Every structure is written in structure tokens, then in C-alpha cells.
Amino acid sequence: MTAMTPSRFGQVNQSGSATALFLQVFAGEVLASFEIATVMLDRIASRTIKFGQSAMFPIQGRTTASLHTPGSDIIGNTINANDRVITIDGLTIAPVFIANIDEAMNHYDVRGIYSKELGRALARAMDANLLQVSILAARSTANLADTGYPGGTVQTNAAYGTTGATLAGGLFAAAQALDQNNNPEEDRFVVFRPAQYYLLAQTTAVLDKDWGGSGSYSDGKILRVAGIEVVKSNQLPQSNVTTGPAAYQGNFSTTVGVVLQKGAVGIVKLMDLAMESQYLIKSQGTLMVAKYATGYGILRPESAVELKTS
């Protein structure tokens, strides 16, 4: 009897690994879930390096203009400059092991569920680190010896945690602080935990179209206040963080939000989001690992404002 030739629909053009296309689908699902879940990555300064352990972000000051006296020599002004080096932390991973017997007995596809959770786990880890760094930026001193570039700003009001109108006022005060620190008006955003986000969404003054408000009371959405995009995230820290890289640690127990302009913090990516998969004979299952290698750091403290209750 002639042996059947199977059509291996997991292969690329019927050659190579029998699971190559399956892994591509899994990796695509992880990436899509990651991109949906992260709120910080596209809103901050980013650099990708091919090798090495760190990257340098140049930071430039500004100069002044003046009237020229006819006949006098023109001497160039000095412009302060500095840089910030962001170091790669190491490899961040989200692994899962799928046993053959469990997958065989299960009546629904678990790989799609797992792929989404791996992407979400990595997104949560990235946002948590970036938000901790962002708050620390607001607490930092100036990075340039220039009066136009002071340190970060911390605004304290006990009612920020309980009163939507006060929280809205805090955003206007934050916008003023960013203006006074010579920040661009574009690419400004604030991150709140859900409690403060919905507190603000119930403040009809910031939704009233007659006042130029934007958002929806019925949908519980608030888009923008004082020119600042409003974002919610469970990853905004709310405790005294003493674990993880020392540069990201701090007491965030009274923080309710952080306002940023895009240049406030940065991320360096050595290894972008990637997937690996291997069938383990000795374990009779498949190990799947989603991973990236990144580092985070403060760039411009004058572009960050912390809102806290005490």
C-alpha cells in the first residue's frame, strides 16, 4: 500500500518545521495583545539599539536673542547640553508550558488565550516600570543648568483622591507648570488609576460641550482636560515599591496621577518583543516564551508633574 503524504499546514510551503506557521500566529497574537495593553510605549521617547548595554539621549538647552549694536563684534552664545544614559535592565520574560495531555483533553483552544495573556503580562511589566520612572522624574532636580529647564513638579492636594472637580483643577495647574517650564503643548498626557479616571469622568464640567469639553458621561469616558490626554492604567503604582531595579523604586502610596510630556522619560530597546517555542520530549509538552530586553530612564524632569494627596 502506498503511504499517504500528509499536508502539513503548519509548514511554510510544505518544508521546514511542522509548526513554523503556528508559532507565527502565536507570536502575532502576543504582539497584538501587547500593543493593545500598553498605554505608555507609544507616548514616550524611544530608541532601539542593535548591540551594547545602554544608549545615550542628548539633552540640549536653549539660547537667547538680542539686538545687535552696529559695529560691535558678534560672539556666539553658549548653549547648555547634557545627556542621559539609559541602561538595559536585562531580559523580561513571560513563559507558559502547555502539556500535550492537557491540550488533547481540552475542548477549546488554550493557545490563543495564553498568547493574549503573555502579551498582557509583558505590557503590564513595561508600563509599571515606566510609570514608576515617570513619577520619579517629577520628583527629580534639573538636568540642565538653565533657568528654562527646572526640575520636575509635585502638586499636593488631599482632595485629588476624592473630588473630581479638584482633580480637574489639578490638571489645569499641571498644564500651567508644563507651560512655565517651556514644554511643547503637543504630546501631553496624564495617567490615572481607574478610581481617579472615573471620578474625573463624573465631573460634567469637563464634558460639557458648551465649555469645549470632550468625552461621554454615558460611556464613562474622558478624553482631554486642559489640553492633556487622559489615560487610565492599573499599573500606576500605589505603594512603597522596594523590589525590582533600584532606579525604579520609591514610595508611591499617595500618588494619584502623573502628567507627562513625551520627552519626560525614555525607553531603550535592545531586543524587541519576540517569541520562542520548543517541544520538550522529556516533559511531553511545549514551552513558549515571550520576551524583550529594555531599559527605562528619566530624560527631562521639567516635563513631568506628579499629582498626590499628601
Tell me the CATH number at 45.
3.90.1690
Q: Which residues contact 246 (CB under 8 A, 6 or more apart)?
A: none
- Is residue 1 assigned to a domain? no
Given a cut of 50, the residues of the chain with pLDDT beneath it are: 4-11, 18, 210-211
Per-residue confidence (pLDDT) for residue 111, from 0 to 100: 73
Instruction: Quote the CA–CA distance of 308 and 300 in Å, as a whole number.
Output: 20
- Count of CB atoms situated within 10 Å of the CB of 108: 6
The residue assigned the cell 548591540 is 51
- Is residue 299 assigned to a domain? yes
Per-residue confidence (pLDDT) for residue 184, from 0 to 100: 93
Instruction: Quote the CA–CA distance of 188 and 226 in Å, as a whole number.
Output: 10
- Is residue 35 assigned to a domain? yes
Per-residue confidence (pLDDT) for residue 99, from 0 to 100: 84
Instruction: Give the pTM.
Output: 0.83
When divided into structural domains, the chain yields a total of 1
Rg (CA), the chain: 25
Q: What angle do CA 9, 291, 20 make, to 5 degrees?
A: 10
- Is residue 291 assigned to a domain? yes
Chain-centroid distance of CA 262 in Å reads 10
- Is residue 146 assigned to a domain? yes
Give the residue numbers spanning the domain of 110.
Answer: 20-57+81-308
What's phi and psi for 231, nearest 5 deg? -125, 145
Per-residue confidence (pLDDT) for residue 76, from 0 to 100: 76
- Is residue 40 assigned to a domain? yes
Angle between helices 20-37 and 110-138 (to 10 degrees): 40
- Is residue 2 assigned to a domain? no
- Is residue 75 assigned to a domain? no
